[in-house]
Amino acid sequence: MATFQVQIEDMIGTVSFDDTGFITQAIQDVGAEIVSLTPVAKLMKIGKTVAVSSSGLSISSKRILAVDKSDYKAKEIPASDKARHKSAGSIYASSATSPVFYTEDQNLFVIGDAASNETSGTLCYVPLIPTSDGSASIIYSSTATEHFPKEAVHILVLGAAAKCLQQEMSLKSEKLKVYIQTDEDSELAQAEMLEINAVQAQLTILEGKYMKSLEAFLKSR
């Protein structure tokens, strides 16, 4: 498969700015937006699992899909209620078959059987920023995604292409401003204005396609 940069430029033409960092940021931002909006049920099919130790697990780069303890689903509780669930003598005490979990300081903790002081479990999640191999975030030269809906990859490219066109608009507008301020050739200014109008028209179409495709994806089963 072609790189994301190639896919984007196949859609909008070669970008005039030499900034692969911008393209990387664009695909990551759009990918994160898609992940945040996608229903949990759709993401469960592509989720990744990791063990949660007694010292907790960082979730700063993860979207939580489900948590379990020995294959029993854990229920989320507020961090402020953790003491009552850890206390074996409390009516709220968690058990081996009714575990709970909470998040605190961007870390996830599991409480199993309070009497046995069990505090480990398993997290099912997807990376907040799509990855190319399950761990490394996608960049402009990536050719694939892992733990990201395959049917949404084209939507990611559409959204990133729109962001690249927005950058093109911004750069051309700045160039036009210089032409006007320095009283350079009016023909150059006029040509730049025509290019801006053309990019704007292309951007409007692309943004419409992105929103329509994203909406259809989110509603699909």
Distances from the Cα of 150 to the Cαs of 30, 114, 147, 205, in angstroms? 14, 41, 9, 23
Give me the pLDDT at residue 18, please. 80
20 phi and psi, to 5 degrees?
-65, -25
pLDDT digits (tens, 9 = 90+) for 78-97: 999 999 999 999 999 999 99
66 forms beta bridges with 124
Confidence of residue 47 (pLDDT cuts 50, 70, 90): very high
- Cα-Cα-Cα-Cα dihedral sign, residues 89, 93, 98, 100: negative
Give me the pLDDT at residue 218, please. 96
Give me the pLDDT at residue 185, please. 64
HSE toward the beta carbon, residue 72, CA cutoff 13 A: 16
- % the chain with pLDDT above 70: 97
Give me the pLDDT at residue 25, please. 97
Give me the pLDDT at residue 183, please. 62
pLDDT digits (tens, 9 = 90+) for 103-138: 999 999 999 999 999 999 999 999 999 999 999 999
The residue with greater pLDDT, 159 or 14, is 159
Give me the pLDDT at residue 188, please. 75
Q: Which of 190, 150, 197, 198 is nearest to 13 (CA)?
A: 198
Q: Are 172 and 15 in contact (CB under 8 A)?
A: no
Tell me which of 24-28, 150-154, 179-183 is least confident. Answer: 179-183
pTM of the model: 0.90
pLDDT digits (tens, 9 = 90+) for 176-214: 777 666 766 677 777 778 888 889 999 999 999 999 999
Question: Over the range 30-48, which residues count as b (16 or more CB within 10 Å of their CB) and which as e?
Answer: bbbebbeebeeeebeeebb
3-class SS at 104?
A: strand
